[in-house]
């Protein structure tokens, strides 16, 4: 099996993927987190996760956490800097 080669930090070649940890340099409002969802129209970066309270879990038992996501459109992907990857969203929090 070939060894894993991380994506390049070269802004011309890096294409963000789900489960990449990225930094988005937006000047005063920079963010960093995991790429949570990706589509041709946009991707989301998970910048926070917190547990729901009991009442919220009772009303929606299929989800036990609240995820805070930031939307990033393709024209801004060149501002994303690759940091690391994980195999799946359960590997590292």
Three-class SS of residue 90?
A: coil
**Is 3 among the domain residues?**
no
- Judge whether 5 lies within some domain: no
| Residues of the domain holding 33 | 20-85
Distance CA 17, CA 55 (A): 34
Write down the pLDDT at residue 92: 59
Q: Give the whole-angstrom CA distance, residue 24 versus residue 22.
A: 6
Two tokens at 22?
């990225």
Residue 72 lies in a domain: yes
9 in a domain, yes or no?
Answer: no
Give pLDDT, residue 2. 43
List pLDDT tens digits, range 42-73: 999 999 999 999 998 998 888 899 999 999 99
Name the domain count of the chain: 1
């Amino acid at each position: 099996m070939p060894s894993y080669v991380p994506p390049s930090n070269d802004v011309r070649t890096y294409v963000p993927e789900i489960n990449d940890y990225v930094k988005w340099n937006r000047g005063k409002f920079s963010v960093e987190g995991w790429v949570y969802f990706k589509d041709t129209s946009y991707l989301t970066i998970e910048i926070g996760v917190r547990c729901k309270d009991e009442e919220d879990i009772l009303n929606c038992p299929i989800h036990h956490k609240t995820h805070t996501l930031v939307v990033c459109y393709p024209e801004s992907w060149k501002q994303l800097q690759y940091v690391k990857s994980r195999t799946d969203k359960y590997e590292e929090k």
